[in-house]
Chains A and B, each alone.
Chain A
Amino acid sequence: MNFLITCFKGIYLYFGMIAKVLFVVLGVMLGFAWFNRRRIKMHSGVYFICVAIGFILISRIPILLSSRYFALLPALLIPFAVLGFPFATDFFYERLQTKFKGVKKKHIATVLLFLIIGGSVGKIYSPPKRKDYLFRISSVIRKANEKQPGFNPLIIDYSEDIVRIGYYSGISAKKIRHMKYNEFWDKLYSLFRYHEVIYISAADQTTGIFKKNQTTGFVDPLDLVVSKEIVPGKIYRFSIRRPKEFLKKHERTEYIINEFFTKKYEQKINKSPILCFLKEQKAEYLIGKHYIKLPIGWGLHCEAYKKSRRKVTNCRIESCKGLPGVDIVTDISAGQPHLGVFSKEFSVTDGSYFIDLCLEGDDDSVGLLSIILYGNNHLFLKTIPVGRFRIDDSKETWYRIPVSNDIFNYKGAKSFRLLIKGQRGKITCKQLKMYK
């Protein structure tokens, strides 16, 4: 299989670009042909396709500008590329005939076709070089950390592809490009809130984010930290678990490392239900499953996560009470933004439960209450939505959501958490009670 892939990559390297150029050539040929009205009869059907292509092109301009791939447009362009094919054959035939007298049209058509097929097949089987490289990095990182639950690394790279790699592989990934020295450290500082380890792909000195020359205002942070050891193209690991490796040279580096790498900070994490929650949820990648089950866990780069994060900041929980009948300790603190009333071990008795929410917010705001079940060692099991609520009255109002006992009897469930997500508008949860 690897041999085949290598062959295809070879084809792509040689013919991939040619195929792209050919598609453009075919398009240009078509333009000429159309202009001269040599072969295409103007018809309402042709207009229909023109409208379709024009509409798709205009409506997708934001996507095209954001350099995302867009499959529909090339699919629509195929008939036009085909229309250009005979003209391309004619064009090359007229030019080659004078030099090579034995050349026939079908030879040129065959060569064109071969190049298109070769290029397309090569393109299908060959991911971009940088992407391939980043894939390897993510799989290495994943393997290195798969036996450490609760461990959530981040990869930083300068290329556009890194976000997509993170998107594909499930490892948190972030693109940082042309960032000034202070900005970079501020960014890193903020990222350590969510990631125990940050892998930085050391950039190529000419093309990368971090340029060596400090006078330009861009610096290589790795150069500051481990200047002599840096090799472009290799991966360097910033860790909060092994701070000594990086305690060198620069004051600011030391400051950040000291700030984040001490037990004081770890206690901070443990005290913050939000950070604990994120840490554990996102660690799901690394515990031998193929994919994470909770959308919030896809990482900072992920749009779904960003959305949920943006939403939940609109949802504040101000206070909640213990839940008699179930052995639950809540650790939410008043004024805590974000989501969640967190619980610990429980022993469920028969019967149903009720959750009462005292909510305040904008009219027509919508939120969702879910129960997240955990097994042994806080292993994530399942998220079960139990009820959606809508704010009808902007004043404080109590909402009751019944919860069936069956939810807690889920196989292997040892503990649970309540998750409140704001889905629309602004919601403040003034009080929360759960009882039997």
Chain B
Amino acid sequence: MSKVQVIYILLAICLFGSLLRCGRLFQEQYLKRDEIHYIEMANLWADDGVKTAYSFSAGIPPVMPFVMMVGVRLLGVDALLAGRVFVFTLGFFFPLSLYFITFQILKDQKLALLAALLAALQPVYARLGCLVLRDTPYICFFMFAVASAVWSIYSKRISGWFFFAIFSALGALTRKEGIELIMIMFLWMGGDIYLKQSDRMARTFKLAGIALVVLFIYSLITIPVFLYLKSNGSTWCPFPLISLYKLLLCLLT
């Protein structure tokens, strides 16, 4: 199968998934509670600023309301429409992440395409995929982070970890659980060092270096957002499980 053919098939699969979600949208009669929440926040953000938006709901991670606010303020569209465009766009690309993961593991184009098809068809994801909720963006960022890590591990290129850090940070900006990607990375690193007997010391240094780089990029993206939002009343934190930031702030001040 040529590369062009694969690209066409992948596009067709992505389009098919999007059409399924569009169809599902007709069955959704009411807005969900969280959708209402984000719409309200985005409108408040657009009208009265970030402080007012976060006084409405202090713990919401910024991606959804921010993207919707940008739609309202800059493009002049309805917050709901802006949110739907965002969610559908990410949902469109979601099957690609499964394609990359499966291709890395099996090195088989057909099975990788089958994985992409299953991702487009995955019922729960398709049903959530038409709603302006954080699930779709988070799952998409999560899967792309996993795909980046898997690609990096198989190809032995460190650049994949940069993407992993970026997608992890985006995941954390979407949901509080985003930190779990960093924890998964640490768990895998610990297991990998433990399981592989040869060159353990060199491997430990290499993985520790990767972990530091990932943490650095992750923090570089999330900390400025966190500090900005914190000064505006948000309680969202990119490290919700451990109060590293509190420790860091104590040390800095």
Contact = CB atoms under 8 A, between A and B. Distances in A.
B39 to A, nearest CB: 8
A146 B34 CA distance: 23
A254 B58 CA distance: 46
B153 interface: yes
Nearest to B32: A168
Given A74-B125, A168-B30, A291-B31, A83 B191 contact: no
A302 interface: yes
Interface string B85-129: 000000000000010011011100001101101110111111110
Interface string B14-55: 000000100110110111110011011000000000001001
Contacts of B36: 291-292
A125 B118 contact: no
B111 A86 contact: yes
Given A51-B188, A121-B20, A127-B27, A78 B33 contact: no
Given A46-B105, A48-B150, A125-B24, A385 B52 contact: yes
Contact of B191 (A51, A74, A75, A86): A51
B33 A85 contact: no
Interface residues of A, number: 59
Given A168-B30, A295-B37, A49 B55 contact: no
A289 to B, nearest CB: 11
A368 B177 CA distance: 27
A1 B150 contact: no
Interface in B139-176: 139, 142-143, 146, 149-150, 153-154
A103 B192 CA distance: 44
Interface stretch (B65-73, B179-187, B209-217, B245-253): B179-187
Given A78-B119, A124-B20, A51 B111 contact: no
B150 A45 contact: yes
A169 interface: yes
Task: Identify which of B104, B138, B146 gathers the most chain A CB atoms within 10 Å of its CB.
Answer: B146
A72 interface: yes
B128 A71 contact: yes
A374 to B, nearest CB: 18
A51 B58 contact: no
B33 A167 contact: yes
Contacts of A277: none
Nearest to A138: B30
A120 B180 CA distance: 29
A78 B32 contact: no
Nearest to A135: B29
Task: Identify which of B104, B105, B119, B187 gathers the most chain A CB atoms within 10 Å of its CB.
Answer: B105
7 contacts: A71-B135, A78-B98, A78-B118, A85-B114, A121-B20, A123-B123, A125-B23
Closest 5 CB pairs of A and B: A123-B123, A120-B121, A385-B55, A82-B115, A45-B153
Interface of A: 1, 4-5, 39-40, 43-49, 51-52, 55-56, 59, 69-72, 74-76, 78-79, 81-83, 85-86, 113, 116-117, 120-121, 123-125, 127, 135, 139, 167-170, 290-293, 295, 298, 302, 304, 368, 384-385, 388, 423
